[in-house]
A and B are shown apart, each in its own frame.
Chain A
Amino acid sequence: MAASQASLLLQKQLKDLCKNPVDGFSAGLVDETNIFEWSVTIIGPPDTLYEGGFFNAIMSFPSNYPNSPPSVKFTSEIWHPNVYPDGRVCISILHPPGEDPNGYELASERWTPVHTVESIVLSIISMLSSPNDESPANVEAAKEWRDRRDDFKKKVSRCVRKSQEML
Protein backbone atom coordinates (compact mmCIF):
# COMPACT_ATOMS: atom_id res chain seq x y z
CA MET A 1 0.00 0.00 0.00
CA ALA A 2 2.76 2.50 0.91
CA ALA A 3 4.65 2.08 -2.36
CA SER A 4 1.45 2.17 -4.35
CA GLN A 5 0.31 5.28 -2.50
CA ALA A 6 3.59 7.07 -3.23
CA SER A 7 3.40 6.08 -6.87
CA LEU A 8 -0.17 7.30 -7.28
CA LEU A 9 0.58 10.56 -5.52
CA LEU A 10 3.64 11.27 -7.66
CA GLN A 11 1.80 10.39 -10.87
CA LYS A 12 -0.95 12.78 -9.91
CA GLN A 13 1.58 15.55 -9.31
CA LEU A 14 3.34 14.85 -12.60
CA LYS A 15 0.07 15.01 -14.48
CA ASP A 16 -0.89 18.21 -12.71
CA LEU A 17 2.45 19.91 -13.42
CA CYS A 18 2.24 18.96 -17.10
CA LYS A 19 -1.24 20.43 -17.31
CA ASN A 20 -0.57 23.51 -15.18
CA PRO A 21 3.11 24.49 -15.40
CA VAL A 22 4.43 26.68 -12.60
CA ASP A 23 6.64 29.72 -13.23
CA GLY A 24 10.23 29.45 -12.16
CA PHE A 25 10.95 25.81 -12.91
CA SER A 26 10.11 22.84 -15.08
CA ALA A 27 9.91 19.24 -13.90
CA GLY A 28 9.66 15.80 -15.43
CA LEU A 29 10.81 12.22 -15.01
CA VAL A 30 14.41 11.19 -15.58
CA ASP A 31 13.14 7.88 -16.96
CA GLU A 32 9.48 7.39 -17.86
CA THR A 33 9.47 3.97 -16.23
CA ASN A 34 10.56 5.27 -12.82
CA ILE A 35 8.16 7.66 -11.08
CA PHE A 36 10.51 8.10 -8.11
CA GLU A 37 13.31 9.95 -9.98
CA TRP A 38 12.50 13.45 -11.18
CA SER A 39 14.58 15.89 -13.19
CA VAL A 40 14.00 19.54 -12.38
CA THR A 41 15.32 22.65 -14.09
CA ILE A 42 15.26 25.70 -11.85
CA ILE A 43 15.39 29.12 -13.47
CA GLY A 44 17.53 31.53 -11.46
CA PRO A 45 15.14 33.84 -9.60
CA PRO A 46 14.91 37.44 -10.88
CA ASP A 47 16.64 40.10 -8.78
CA THR A 48 19.05 37.57 -7.29
CA LEU A 49 22.65 36.68 -8.01
CA TYR A 50 21.42 33.54 -9.76
CA GLU A 51 19.26 35.41 -12.28
CA GLY A 52 19.66 34.11 -15.80
CA GLY A 53 20.89 30.70 -14.72
CA PHE A 54 19.33 27.32 -15.55
CA PHE A 55 20.19 24.84 -12.81
CA ASN A 56 19.42 21.16 -13.20
CA ALA A 57 18.68 18.96 -10.21
CA ILE A 58 17.56 15.41 -9.48
CA MET A 59 14.82 14.70 -6.93
CA SER A 60 14.84 11.16 -5.56
CA PHE A 61 11.67 10.13 -3.75
CA PRO A 62 11.60 7.31 -1.18
CA SER A 63 9.09 4.50 -1.53
CA ASN A 64 7.32 5.68 1.63
CA TYR A 65 6.77 9.23 0.35
CA PRO A 66 5.01 11.35 1.59
CA ASN A 67 5.98 10.03 5.03
CA SER A 68 9.63 10.72 4.22
CA PRO A 69 11.17 13.57 2.22
CA PRO A 70 12.95 13.20 -1.10
CA SER A 71 16.61 14.04 -1.52
CA VAL A 72 17.50 16.82 -3.97
CA LYS A 73 20.85 17.05 -5.69
CA PHE A 74 21.96 19.70 -8.16
CA THR A 75 23.67 18.28 -11.23
CA SER A 76 24.57 21.75 -12.47
CA GLU A 77 27.43 23.46 -10.69
CA ILE A 78 26.05 25.89 -8.14
CA TRP A 79 27.72 27.94 -5.44
CA HIS A 80 25.47 28.39 -2.43
CA PRO A 81 25.89 28.13 1.35
CA ASN A 82 23.09 25.56 1.62
CA VAL A 83 24.24 23.27 -1.18
CA TYR A 84 26.95 20.72 -0.45
CA PRO A 85 29.94 20.67 -2.81
CA ASP A 86 28.54 17.49 -4.36
CA GLY A 87 25.25 19.26 -5.15
CA ARG A 88 23.06 17.91 -2.37
CA VAL A 89 20.55 20.46 -1.12
CA CYS A 90 20.40 21.07 2.62
CA ILE A 91 17.21 22.85 3.65
CA SER A 92 15.08 22.23 6.70
CA ILE A 93 11.94 21.01 4.96
CA LEU A 94 13.90 18.11 3.46
CA HIS A 95 14.94 16.82 6.88
CA PRO A 96 12.76 14.27 8.66
CA PRO A 97 11.38 15.38 12.02
CA GLY A 98 13.68 14.18 14.76
CA GLU A 99 16.83 14.25 12.68
CA ASP A 100 18.84 17.41 13.25
CA PRO A 101 22.31 17.01 11.74
CA ASN A 102 23.43 20.56 12.45
CA GLY A 103 21.52 21.39 15.58
CA TYR A 104 20.17 24.70 14.29
CA GLU A 105 16.83 23.83 12.76
CA LEU A 106 13.52 24.21 14.50
CA ALA A 107 11.38 21.09 14.55
CA SER A 108 8.57 23.18 13.14
CA GLU A 109 10.46 23.76 9.90
CA ARG A 110 11.16 20.17 9.01
CA TRP A 111 9.41 17.71 6.73
CA THR A 112 5.65 17.27 6.72
CA PRO A 113 3.62 15.04 4.36
CA VAL A 114 1.77 17.91 2.71
CA HIS A 115 4.87 18.90 0.72
CA THR A 116 4.75 18.28 -3.01
CA VAL A 117 7.22 18.55 -5.87
CA GLU A 118 6.00 22.08 -6.41
CA SER A 119 6.29 23.23 -2.80
CA ILE A 120 9.75 21.66 -2.48
CA VAL A 121 11.08 23.31 -5.62
CA LEU A 122 9.59 26.65 -4.61
CA SER A 123 11.37 26.30 -1.27
CA ILE A 124 14.65 25.72 -3.10
CA ILE A 125 14.03 28.79 -5.25
CA SER A 126 13.40 30.71 -2.03
CA MET A 127 16.66 29.32 -0.66
CA LEU A 128 18.50 30.73 -3.67
CA SER A 129 17.06 34.15 -2.87
CA SER A 130 17.82 33.98 0.85
CA PRO A 131 20.77 31.85 1.92
CA ASN A 132 20.90 30.66 5.50
CA ASP A 133 24.46 30.92 6.76
CA GLU A 134 23.70 29.59 10.25
CA SER A 135 23.83 25.95 9.25
CA PRO A 136 25.88 25.89 6.07
CA ALA A 137 26.33 22.84 3.92
CA ASN A 138 29.13 24.58 2.06
CA VAL A 139 31.26 26.31 4.69
CA GLU A 140 33.50 28.05 2.16
CA ALA A 141 30.51 29.51 0.31
CA ALA A 142 28.98 30.65 3.59
CA LYS A 143 32.19 32.41 4.60
CA GLU A 144 32.44 34.14 1.26
CA TRP A 145 28.81 35.16 1.37
CA ARG A 146 29.34 36.64 4.83
CA ASP A 147 32.83 38.11 4.63
CA ARG A 148 33.82 38.45 0.97
CA ARG A 149 30.61 39.14 -0.90
CA ASP A 150 32.39 40.22 -4.08
CA ASP A 151 34.20 36.89 -4.36
CA PHE A 152 30.91 35.12 -3.76
CA LYS A 153 29.23 37.12 -6.54
CA LYS A 154 32.01 36.27 -8.98
CA LYS A 155 31.70 32.56 -8.30
CA VAL A 156 27.93 32.65 -8.67
CA SER A 157 28.20 34.59 -11.94
CA ARG A 158 30.56 31.96 -13.26
CA CYS A 159 28.06 29.24 -12.38
CA VAL A 160 25.29 31.17 -14.11
CA ARG A 161 27.36 31.53 -17.28
CA LYS A 162 28.34 27.89 -17.22
CA SER A 163 24.71 26.80 -16.83
CA GLN A 164 23.75 28.93 -19.83
CA GLU A 165 26.47 27.33 -21.94
CA MET A 166 25.18 23.89 -21.02
CA LEU A 167 21.80 24.52 -22.65
Chain B
Amino acid sequence: MAEWRRGILEKRHQIAMALRVAYGGVMAASHGGHGGIAGWADSSQPYPSFSSSAARPAAVSSATNDGVSVGNAHDNRRRRSLARRQQTSRRRTRETDERRTRETGERRMTHATVTRDRRMTHDDGSVLAHYMLGLALLQRQESAKGIKELEKALDLGRGANPKGYMVEEIWQELAKAKYLEWERSSSKRSWELQSLKEACESALKEKHFLDYSQMEGFVDDATTSHSEQLEALERVFNTAAEADIPTEVPDYLCCRITLDIFHDPVITPSGLTYERAVILEHLQKVGKFDPITREPLDPSQLVPNLAIKEAVEAFLDKHGWAYKID
Protein backbone atom coordinates (compact mmCIF):
# COMPACT_ATOMS: atom_id res chain seq x y z
CA MET B 1 0.00 0.00 0.00
CA ALA B 2 2.76 2.41 0.96
CA GLU B 3 4.72 1.60 -2.21
CA TRP B 4 1.66 2.17 -4.32
CA ARG B 5 1.17 5.63 -2.84
CA ARG B 6 4.84 6.47 -3.23
CA GLY B 7 4.64 5.46 -6.91
CA ILE B 8 1.66 7.74 -7.44
CA LEU B 9 3.36 10.65 -5.70
CA GLU B 10 6.52 10.13 -7.72
CA LYS B 11 4.60 10.14 -10.97
CA ARG B 12 2.74 13.29 -9.99
CA HIS B 13 6.03 14.92 -9.12
CA GLN B 14 7.53 14.11 -12.51
CA ILE B 15 4.50 15.40 -14.35
CA ALA B 16 4.53 18.55 -12.26
CA MET B 17 8.20 19.06 -13.06
CA ALA B 18 7.58 18.64 -16.79
CA LEU B 19 4.70 21.08 -16.69
CA ARG B 20 6.62 23.58 -14.60
CA VAL B 21 9.35 23.61 -17.22
CA ALA B 22 6.77 24.09 -19.94
CA TYR B 23 4.95 26.85 -18.09
CA GLY B 24 8.10 28.47 -16.67
CA GLY B 25 8.38 30.75 -19.68
CA VAL B 26 4.82 31.95 -19.23
CA MET B 27 5.51 32.94 -15.64
CA ALA B 28 8.65 34.78 -16.72
CA ALA B 29 6.75 36.58 -19.46
CA SER B 30 3.94 37.59 -17.13
CA HIS B 31 6.43 39.00 -14.63
CA GLY B 32 8.49 40.64 -17.35
CA GLY B 33 6.56 43.88 -16.99
CA HIS B 34 7.73 44.32 -13.43
CA GLY B 35 11.31 43.39 -14.21
CA GLY B 36 14.04 43.52 -11.61
CA ILE B 37 14.78 40.90 -9.00
CA ALA B 38 11.25 39.53 -8.73
CA GLY B 39 11.05 38.47 -12.39
CA TRP B 40 14.49 36.92 -12.30
CA ALA B 41 13.73 34.96 -9.15
CA ASP B 42 10.47 33.62 -10.59
CA SER B 43 12.03 32.51 -13.85
CA SER B 44 14.75 30.65 -11.97
CA GLN B 45 12.26 28.45 -10.13
CA PRO B 46 12.15 25.55 -12.64
CA TYR B 47 15.89 25.04 -12.55
CA PRO B 48 17.00 24.31 -8.94
CA SER B 49 15.69 20.73 -9.12
CA PHE B 50 17.75 20.01 -12.23
CA SER B 51 20.77 21.51 -10.54
CA SER B 52 20.41 19.30 -7.48
CA SER B 53 19.97 16.13 -9.54
CA ALA B 54 22.94 17.00 -11.76
CA ALA B 55 25.13 17.60 -8.71
CA ARG B 56 24.69 14.04 -7.46
CA PRO B 57 26.69 12.33 -10.26
CA ALA B 58 29.50 14.82 -9.72
CA ALA B 59 29.68 13.93 -6.03
CA VAL B 60 29.87 10.22 -6.85
CA SER B 61 32.62 10.68 -9.41
CA SER B 62 34.71 12.86 -7.08
CA ALA B 63 34.44 10.24 -4.33
CA THR B 64 36.05 7.63 -6.59
CA ASN B 65 39.00 9.87 -7.50
CA ASP B 66 42.28 9.48 -5.59
CA GLY B 67 43.62 12.97 -6.22
CA VAL B 68 41.64 15.60 -4.36
CA SER B 69 42.69 18.46 -6.64
CA VAL B 70 41.63 16.63 -9.81
CA GLY B 71 38.21 15.93 -8.34
CA ASN B 72 37.74 19.48 -7.24
CA ALA B 73 38.75 20.91 -10.59
CA HIS B 74 36.39 18.55 -12.41
CA ASP B 75 33.58 19.33 -10.02
CA ASN B 76 34.08 23.07 -10.33
CA ARG B 77 34.20 22.90 -14.12
CA ARG B 78 30.95 20.96 -14.18
CA ARG B 79 29.21 23.40 -11.87
CA ARG B 80 30.39 26.40 -13.87
CA SER B 81 29.29 24.80 -17.13
CA LEU B 82 25.89 23.98 -15.65
CA ALA B 83 25.46 27.52 -14.37
CA ARG B 84 26.30 28.93 -17.78
CA ARG B 85 23.76 26.62 -19.40
CA GLN B 86 21.10 27.73 -16.95
CA GLN B 87 21.74 31.39 -17.65
CA THR B 88 21.54 30.78 -21.39
CA SER B 89 18.30 28.86 -20.96
CA ARG B 90 16.81 31.61 -18.84
CA ARG B 91 17.68 34.28 -21.39
CA ARG B 92 16.32 32.23 -24.29
CA THR B 93 13.18 31.42 -22.37
CA ARG B 94 12.43 35.05 -21.65
CA GLU B 95 13.17 36.14 -25.22
CA THR B 96 11.13 33.48 -27.01
CA ASP B 97 8.12 33.19 -24.71
CA GLU B 98 6.45 36.53 -25.23
CA ARG B 99 3.13 35.07 -26.25
CA ARG B 100 0.64 33.91 -23.65
CA THR B 101 -0.68 30.37 -23.96
CA ARG B 102 -4.13 29.08 -23.19
CA GLU B 103 -3.39 27.64 -19.78
CA THR B 104 -6.91 26.42 -19.15
CA GLY B 105 -6.97 24.31 -22.33
CA GLU B 106 -3.57 22.84 -21.67
CA ARG B 107 -4.46 22.06 -18.08
CA ARG B 108 -7.63 20.28 -19.19
CA MET B 109 -5.65 18.25 -21.73
CA THR B 110 -3.12 17.39 -19.07
CA HIS B 111 -5.75 16.31 -16.58
CA ALA B 112 -7.52 14.04 -19.07
CA THR B 113 -4.32 12.30 -20.12
CA VAL B 114 -3.03 11.92 -16.58
CA THR B 115 -6.34 10.45 -15.47
CA ARG B 116 -6.31 7.90 -18.25
CA ASP B 117 -2.72 6.84 -17.64
CA ARG B 118 -2.85 6.68 -13.86
CA ARG B 119 -1.88 2.98 -13.74
CA MET B 120 1.46 3.44 -15.48
CA THR B 121 4.72 2.48 -13.81
CA HIS B 122 7.64 4.71 -12.94
CA ASP B 123 9.33 4.20 -16.32
CA ASP B 124 6.09 4.98 -18.07
CA GLY B 125 5.79 8.06 -15.89
CA SER B 126 9.09 9.27 -17.28
CA VAL B 127 7.78 8.57 -20.78
CA LEU B 128 4.61 10.44 -19.91
CA ALA B 129 6.57 13.44 -18.64
CA HIS B 130 8.45 13.82 -21.91
CA TYR B 131 5.27 13.17 -23.88
CA MET B 132 3.32 15.86 -22.01
CA LEU B 133 6.20 18.29 -22.29
CA GLY B 134 6.39 17.62 -26.03
CA LEU B 135 2.66 18.24 -26.48
CA ALA B 136 2.83 21.42 -24.41
CA LEU B 137 5.72 22.77 -26.47
CA LEU B 138 3.86 22.01 -29.69
CA GLN B 139 0.84 23.85 -28.32
CA ARG B 140 3.11 26.82 -27.83
CA GLN B 141 4.25 26.63 -31.46
CA GLU B 142 7.75 25.57 -30.44
CA SER B 143 7.89 22.78 -33.02
CA ALA B 144 11.57 21.90 -32.87
CA LYS B 145 11.65 21.49 -29.10
CA GLY B 146 8.31 19.71 -29.02
CA ILE B 147 9.42 17.21 -31.64
CA LYS B 148 12.63 16.56 -29.73
CA GLU B 149 10.70 15.80 -26.53
CA LEU B 150 8.30 13.48 -28.37
CA GLU B 151 11.26 11.62 -29.88
CA LYS B 152 12.73 11.22 -26.40
CA ALA B 153 9.39 9.93 -25.10
CA LEU B 154 9.20 7.49 -28.01
CA ASP B 155 12.66 6.06 -27.35
CA LEU B 156 11.94 5.66 -23.64
CA GLY B 157 8.52 4.17 -24.36
CA ARG B 158 9.92 1.56 -26.73
CA GLY B 159 12.51 0.58 -24.18
CA ALA B 160 9.88 0.11 -21.50
CA ASN B 161 7.06 -1.53 -23.44
CA PRO B 162 7.27 -1.65 -27.25
CA LYS B 163 3.72 -2.98 -27.60
CA GLY B 164 2.13 -0.40 -25.33
CA TYR B 165 -0.56 1.85 -26.73
CA MET B 166 1.39 4.82 -25.37
CA VAL B 167 4.14 4.15 -27.92
CA GLU B 168 1.66 4.17 -30.79
CA GLU B 169 0.03 7.34 -29.48
CA ILE B 170 3.37 9.11 -29.14
CA TRP B 171 4.34 8.06 -32.65
CA GLN B 172 1.12 9.46 -34.08
CA GLU B 173 1.58 12.82 -32.36
CA LEU B 174 5.19 12.91 -33.53
CA ALA B 175 4.20 12.02 -37.11
CA LYS B 176 1.56 14.74 -37.09
CA ALA B 177 4.04 17.34 -35.86
CA LYS B 178 6.68 16.29 -38.39
CA TYR B 179 4.14 16.37 -41.21
CA LEU B 180 3.03 19.89 -40.33
CA GLU B 181 6.65 20.97 -40.16
CA TRP B 182 7.27 19.49 -43.60
CA GLU B 183 4.15 21.15 -44.95
CA ARG B 184 5.37 24.58 -43.81
CA SER B 185 8.90 24.16 -45.11
CA SER B 186 7.85 22.60 -48.42
CA SER B 187 5.42 25.48 -49.05
CA LYS B 188 8.27 27.90 -48.53
CA ARG B 189 10.61 25.89 -50.78
CA SER B 190 7.93 25.62 -53.43
CA TRP B 191 7.38 29.37 -53.44
CA GLU B 192 11.10 30.06 -53.61
CA LEU B 193 11.57 27.63 -56.50
CA GLN B 194 8.66 29.14 -58.38
CA SER B 195 10.07 32.65 -57.95
CA LEU B 196 13.49 31.55 -59.14
CA LYS B 197 11.97 29.72 -62.11
CA GLU B 198 10.01 32.80 -63.16
CA ALA B 199 13.13 34.94 -62.86
CA CYS B 200 15.06 32.49 -65.05
CA GLU B 201 12.27 32.37 -67.62
CA SER B 202 12.18 36.17 -67.76
CA ALA B 203 15.94 36.28 -68.20
CA LEU B 204 15.76 33.75 -71.04
CA LYS B 205 13.00 35.70 -72.77
CA GLU B 206 14.99 38.91 -72.42
CA LYS B 207 18.06 37.19 -73.86
CA HIS B 208 15.98 35.77 -76.70
CA PHE B 209 14.57 39.20 -77.46
CA LEU B 210 18.05 40.73 -77.56
CA ASP B 211 19.37 37.91 -79.74
CA TYR B 212 16.41 38.24 -82.07
CA SER B 213 16.91 41.98 -82.50
CA GLN B 214 20.63 41.58 -83.23
CA MET B 215 20.69 38.75 -85.72
CA GLU B 216 18.95 38.92 -89.10
CA GLY B 217 18.58 35.71 -91.04
CA PHE B 218 18.99 33.07 -88.35
CA VAL B 219 15.62 33.67 -86.68
CA ASP B 220 14.33 30.07 -86.89
CA ASP B 221 17.42 28.60 -85.26
CA ALA B 222 17.26 31.14 -82.46
CA THR B 223 13.60 30.39 -81.78
CA THR B 224 14.23 26.64 -81.67
CA SER B 225 17.15 27.15 -79.31
CA HIS B 226 15.00 29.32 -77.07
CA SER B 227 12.23 26.70 -76.87
CA GLU B 228 14.73 24.00 -76.03
CA GLN B 229 16.22 26.14 -73.27
CA LEU B 230 12.78 26.74 -71.76
CA GLU B 231 12.08 22.99 -71.82
CA ALA B 232 15.43 22.25 -70.19
CA LEU B 233 14.68 24.85 -67.54
CA GLU B 234 11.32 23.19 -66.86
CA ARG B 235 13.06 19.83 -66.40
CA VAL B 236 15.63 21.29 -64.02
CA PHE B 237 13.01 22.84 -61.77
CA ASN B 238 10.80 19.75 -61.85
CA THR B 239 13.75 17.66 -60.71
CA ALA B 240 14.49 20.14 -57.95
CA ALA B 241 10.91 19.87 -56.67
CA GLU B 242 10.76 16.06 -56.85
CA ALA B 243 11.54 15.40 -53.20
CA ASP B 244 8.50 17.39 -52.08
CA ILE B 245 5.98 15.62 -54.31
CA PRO B 246 4.13 12.88 -52.40
CA THR B 247 4.35 9.51 -54.13
CA GLU B 248 4.64 5.99 -52.71
CA VAL B 249 6.95 4.84 -49.96
CA PRO B 250 9.22 2.11 -51.38
CA ASP B 251 8.12 -1.42 -50.48
CA TYR B 252 11.46 -2.24 -48.89
CA LEU B 253 10.79 0.41 -46.23
CA CYS B 254 7.32 -0.92 -45.42
CA CYS B 255 6.16 -3.69 -43.11
CA ARG B 256 4.66 -6.66 -44.94
CA ILE B 257 1.86 -6.80 -42.38
CA THR B 258 0.93 -3.15 -41.86
CA LEU B 259 1.92 -2.09 -45.42
CA ASP B 260 3.05 1.13 -43.73
CA ILE B 261 6.51 2.63 -43.41
CA PHE B 262 8.52 1.12 -40.55
CA HIS B 263 8.66 2.86 -37.20
CA ASP B 264 10.62 0.26 -35.23
CA PRO B 265 11.79 -2.55 -37.56
CA VAL B 266 12.95 -5.93 -36.25
CA ILE B 267 14.35 -8.80 -38.29
CA THR B 268 13.57 -12.51 -37.90
CA PRO B 269 15.99 -15.44 -38.32
CA SER B 270 14.39 -15.95 -41.75
CA GLY B 271 15.80 -12.57 -42.74
CA LEU B 272 12.44 -10.80 -42.98
CA THR B 273 11.74 -7.48 -41.33
CA TYR B 274 8.51 -6.51 -39.57
CA GLU B 275 7.20 -3.71 -37.39
CA ARG B 276 8.04 -4.75 -33.84
CA ALA B 277 4.67 -4.12 -32.19
CA VAL B 278 2.81 -5.91 -34.97
CA ILE B 279 5.00 -9.01 -35.14
CA LEU B 280 4.83 -9.31 -31.34
CA GLU B 281 1.05 -9.16 -31.53
CA HIS B 282 1.08 -11.83 -34.23
CA LEU B 283 3.27 -14.13 -32.13
CA GLN B 284 1.00 -13.64 -29.16
CA LYS B 285 -2.37 -13.96 -30.88
CA VAL B 286 -1.93 -15.92 -34.10
CA GLY B 287 0.98 -18.29 -33.60
CA LYS B 288 4.70 -18.55 -32.96
CA PHE B 289 5.85 -18.59 -36.57
CA ASP B 290 7.26 -16.16 -39.13
CA PRO B 291 4.17 -14.95 -41.07
CA ILE B 292 5.88 -15.26 -44.44
CA THR B 293 8.24 -18.21 -44.18
CA ARG B 294 6.21 -19.95 -41.45
CA GLU B 295 9.42 -20.98 -39.72
CA PRO B 296 9.02 -21.34 -35.93
CA LEU B 297 9.68 -18.00 -34.27
CA ASP B 298 10.01 -16.86 -30.66
CA PRO B 299 9.88 -13.19 -29.52
CA SER B 300 13.40 -13.51 -28.13
CA GLN B 301 14.70 -14.09 -31.65
CA LEU B 302 13.61 -10.68 -32.91
CA VAL B 303 16.57 -8.34 -33.44
CA PRO B 304 16.36 -4.60 -34.19
CA ASN B 305 17.04 -3.97 -37.88
CA LEU B 306 19.12 -0.84 -37.43
CA ALA B 307 20.05 -0.52 -41.11
CA ILE B 308 16.41 -0.34 -42.19
CA LYS B 309 15.64 2.01 -39.33
CA GLU B 310 18.35 4.39 -40.52
CA ALA B 311 17.13 4.08 -44.09
CA VAL B 312 13.62 4.99 -42.94
CA GLU B 313 14.92 7.99 -41.01
CA ALA B 314 16.90 9.14 -44.04
CA PHE B 315 13.87 8.72 -46.28
CA LEU B 316 11.62 10.65 -43.90
CA ASP B 317 14.17 13.44 -43.58
CA LYS B 318 14.06 13.90 -47.32
CA HIS B 319 10.36 13.14 -47.83
CA GLY B 320 8.44 14.62 -44.93
CA TRP B 321 5.14 13.93 -46.72
CA ALA B 322 5.54 10.26 -45.81
CA TYR B 323 4.71 11.12 -42.20
CA LYS B 324 1.10 11.58 -43.18
CA ILE B 325 -1.11 8.78 -41.87
CA ASP B 326 -3.52 7.99 -44.70
Q: B260 touching A114 by the CB < 8 A rule?
A: no
Query: How many of chain A's residues have a CB under 8 angstroms from any CB in B?
Result: 23
Query: How many of chain B's residues have a CB under 8 angstroms from any CB in A?
Result: 19
On whether A97 and B286 interact (CB within 8 A), knowing A114-B291, A116-B259, the answer reads: yes
Which B239-262 residues have C-beta < 8 A from chain A?
256-260
Chain B min CB distance to A15 (Å): 6
Interface flag for B292 (CB, 8 Å): yes
CB contact between A67 and one of B165, B168, B281, B325 (< 8 Å): that residue: B281
Alpha-carbon gap, A1 to B171, bound state (A): 12
- On chain A, the residues within 8 Å of B257 by CB distance are 66, 113-114
Q: A113 touching B165 by the CB < 8 A rule?
A: no
Q: A113 touching B282 by the CB < 8 A rule?
A: yes
Q: B259 touching A97 by the CB < 8 A rule?
A: no
Alpha-carbon gap, A97 to B294, bound state (A): 11
- On chain A, the residues within 8 Å of B326 by CB distance are 8, 11-12, 15
Q: A113 touching B168 by the CB < 8 A rule?
A: no
Q: A112 touching B291 by the CB < 8 A rule?
A: yes
Per-position contact with B for A18-57: 1 when CB-CB < 8 Å, else 0?
0000000000000000000000000000000000000000
- On chain A, the residues within 8 Å of B184 by CB distance are none
Q: B260 touching A97 by the CB < 8 A rule?
A: no
Beyond contacts A111-B286, A112-B289: 8 other A-B pairs, Cβ-Cβ < 8 A, are A5-B278, A8-B326, A12-B259, A12-B326, A15-B326, A16-B259, A98-B287, A113-B291
A-B contact pairs, 16 of them (CB 8 A): A8-B325, A9-B260, A12-B259, A12-B260, A12-B326, A13-B259, A16-B259, A64-B285, A66-B257, A67-B281, A68-B286, A96-B286, A97-B289, A111-B286, A113-B286, A114-B292
Please give the residue numbers on chain A whose beta carbons come within 8 Å of chain B beta carbons, in ascending order: 1-2, 5, 8-9, 11-13, 15-16, 64, 66-68, 96-98, 108, 111-114, 116
